[in-house]
Amino acid sequence: MESDPQKFRPRAAIAMARCFPPFMSTILDERLEALFQTVVKRNPGETEFHQAVREVFESLGPVLVKHPEFGTHKIIERICEPERQIIFRVPWQDDSGQVRINRGFRVQFNSALGPFKGGLRFHPSVYLGIVKFLGFEQIFKNALTGLPIGGAKGGADFNPKGCSDGEIMRFCQSFMTALHRNLGEYTDVPAGDTGVGTREIGYLFGQYKRLTDRYESGVITGKGLDWGGAKVRKEATGYGTVFFLQEMLAARKDSVEGKVCIVSGAGNVAIYAIEKLQQLGGKVVACSDSNGFIHDKKGLDLALIKQLKEVERRRIADYARHHKRARYTAGGSIWSVPCEVALPCATQNELNGKDASRLLRNGCLAVAEGANMPVTPEGVRVFLDAGIAYGPGKAANAGGVVTSALEMQQNASRDSWGFEFTETRLAEIMRGIHASCYQTAEEFGAPGNYVHGANIAGFIRVARAMLALGLV
Ligand code: GLU
């Protein structure tokens, strides 16, 4: 094996695994509790998957009362079981000629609404439980977009950090050689996620093209702009998160203008969330990477961050060398920085209950998740109890997959749209997602609760389609 995945799991996740299940704090109704226990039993050790399932179940009680047909047809049981799971060996050679072996995954979770759709994550922490939590979330996220896309996720326990370009290429080629038979523009359409950007998508697509002898643009999204990619795809998740935040604030007669903001992470999502916040007049004072965070009271210099992360592939610590006024804290928590708006854009379970309480004490009034499940269940509870604007990832970070679906539309019609047109479409769809979560939360007696709104609205759309398609 490449590495020990446990070593890379965030502290909160490890604690969760040890004293499982501390997140069973809220009561489920009897039937959903029994179903949850079955999921835990059938999927042992997959703590992140259990967490994601439980969070959705916590919203479903009233849905089963209103729609008894979902119970009769065992929609919940079916939704928790992936349609197909593929686990495969990825052998490759490093630059010294040594043979290396990784494990690849693709979990094709649900195709009731369209072809399987969801990203690939290359990170040493990847194991089946992570891929399944991400795939499960993706079903509802994709449903919320209103676009015809099912839910899937994949990846490998491969650590791209420190790899040469040639090593990345050989890894991607081997990964695609194993997976290509299971993909297709009408079957399953991967994209990027942590550790998979345009470079990796290029190598994956190139190998698919070579193996199939087809220029099937719609088989993968996040492509480069010269070879079938969509404008705004790179910016989409970060921009979309801020569009969702804007809507949550507007519903409270407030706006981003003048707000002090912090954004965790320094990858694609974080960088473009910072960009959009700044465009809307927000003052972003901190961001981070897995080593530490920088705090710049005057506001972050985004051009420098882009240069360090996108061009030079360096660590965020280097920022402080260029700006003397900025303070770098190694290992500390970015959530200690006072702010009004916090966007967790790094990884799952990066913000726990204590962090949430600290943010509130420091005056935080809005949180939108750019990453998938970055706030622990205790953290979510703290935000919901306080009644601040809290946008869960499956709604707030849907902008990435929305723009992937727009890329598929362009590929299907052999077209290429302009930046402004694409961004306008993205903004419209994010507004639609917000409206649907907001209205659904009201309809189900939980006004302002976007967790219930997102879970219920996403679930109902998939459940209806599953009923319509019969027992498949
Ligand atoms: N990985 C992204 C997500 O979490 C994007 C998936 C896609 O574009 O298919 O939604």
Which tens digit of pLDDT belongs to each residue from 308-320? 999 998 999 999 9
User: Taking residues 448-470, what's their average pLDDT?
Assistant: 98
Give the nearest ligand 1 atom to 192 CA: 1
Verify whether ligand 1 is closer than 6 Å to residue 193 (CB atom).
yes
Contact 465, 113 (CB under 8 A): yes
Antiparallel, parallel or unpaired: β 292-295 and 188-191: unpaired
Band (pLDDT 50/70/90 cuts) for residue 27 is: confident
- 168-172: list long-range contacts, CB under 8 Å, 24+ apart: 168/199, 168/200, 168/203, 169/203, 170/92, 170/93, 171/90, 171/92, 171/102, 171/122, 172/200, 172/203, 172/204, 172/207
On the question of pLDDT at 237 being above 70, the answer is yes
Superfamily classification of domain 84-217: Leucine Dehydrogenase, chain A, domain 1 (3.40.50.10860)
92 CA to centre of ligand 1 in angstroms:
26
pLDDT surpasses 50 at 17: no
59 within ligand 1 shell (Cβ under 6 A): no
Number of residues assigned to the chain = 472
Average pLDDT of the segment spanning 389-416: 98
CA of 34 to the centre of ligand 1 (A): 31
| Burial track 434-463 (b if 16+ CB lie within 10 A, e otherwise) | bebbbebbeebebebbbbbbbbbbbbbbbb
Mean pLDDT of the region 283-290: 97
pLDDT above 70 coverage of the chain, percent: 94
* CATH architecture for residues 5-79: Orthogonal Bundle (1.10)
Ligand 1: which atom is nearest the Cα of residue 193?
A: 1
Cβ-based neighbours of 154, under 8 Å, separated by 6 or more:
86, 104, 105, 106, 107, 118, 119, 120, 121, 131, 179, 190
Q: Look over the chain and give the mean of its residue pLDDT values, rounded to a whole number.
A: 94
Largest CA distance in the chain: 64
Contact 43 CB / ligand 1 (< 6 Å)? no
Q: Find out whether the beta carbon of 117 lies less than 6 Å from any atom of ligand 1.
A: yes
- At residue 95, the pLDDT reads 98
Decide if pLDDT at 13 tops 50.
no
Cα 229 to averaged position of ligand 1 atoms, centre (Å):
14
CB 194 near ligand 1, within 6 Å? no
Q: 236-391 architecture in CATH?
A: 3-Layer(aba) Sandwich (3.40)
pLDDT digits (tens, 9 = 90+) for 174-199: 999 999 999 999 999 999 999 999 99
CA atoms lying within 13 Å on the CB side of residue 3: 17
The verdict on whether 153 is a catalytic residue reads yes
Which helix (H) or strand (E) element contains residue 176? Answer: helix 165-179
Rounded average pLDDT over 458-467:
98
The whole-number pLDDT of residue 9 equals 44
> Which of 144, 347, 397, 401, when mutated, tests ligand 1's pocket best, judged by the most ligand atoms within 8 Å of its CB?
401
Q: Is 347 in the pocket of ligand 1 (CB under 6 A)?
A: no
**The token pair that represents 456 in the structure block:** 């219920």
Using a 6 Å cutoff on CB, does residue 401 contact ligand 1?
yes
Confidence of residue 6 (pLDDT cuts 50, 70, 90): very low
Please tell me the distance from the alpha carbon of residue 200 to that of residue 135, in angstroms, as a whole number. Answer: 20
Summarised one tens digit per residue, pLDDT across range 331-386 is: 989 999 999 999 999 999 999 999 999 999 999 999 999 999 999 999 999 999 99
Tokens representing residue 231 in the block: 């404008």
- Looking at residue 91, its pLDDT comes to 98
Copy the structure tokens of residue 249.
């604030």
Catalytic site residue from 117, 132, 141, 153: 153
Cβ–ligand 1 contact at 118 (below 6 Å): yes
Q: pLDDT value at position 465?
A: 98
The per-residue DSSP string of 49-71 comes to HHHHHHHHHHHHHHHHHH-HHHH
Q: Per-domain residue ranges for the chain?
A: 5-79, 84-217, 236-391
pLDDT > 70? residue 301:
yes
Residue 325 pLDDT greater than 80, yes or no: yes
Task: Report the atom number in ligand 1 closest to the C-alpha of 190.
Answer: 9
Q: Which residue has the higher pLDDT, 268 or 22?
A: 268
Q: Is 18's pLDDT higher than 60?
A: no
For ligand 1, mutation pick of 144, 149, 205, 237 (most atoms within 8 Å of CB) = 237
CA of 297 to the centre of ligand 1 (A): 32
5-79 shares its CATH topology with 84-217 = no
Q: Concatenate the DSSP letters of all residues of 341-372 into one string.
A: EEEE-S-TT-B-HHHHHHHHHTT--EEE-SSS
Distance 107 CA to ligand 1 centre (A): 14
Q: What is the mean pLDDT of residues 1-6?
A: 44
- Dihedrals phi, psi of 90, to nearest 5 degrees: -120, 90
The model's pLDDT over 41-94, given as tens digits with 9 standing for 90+, comes to 999 999 999 999 999 999 999 999 999 999 999 999 999 999 999 999 999 999
Cα of 147 vs centre of ligand 1, distance in Å, is 14
> Per-residue confidence at 472, pLDDT binned at 50, 70, 90?
confident
Ligand 1 atom, smallest distance to 398 CA: 10
Measured distance CA(242)–CA(281) in Å, rounded: 12
Closest ligand 1 atom, CA of 120?
A: 1
Q: Which of 193, 196, 204, 409 to mutate to test the pocket of ligand 1 (most atoms within 8 A of CB)?
A: 193
For residue 3, the model assigns a pLDDT of 44
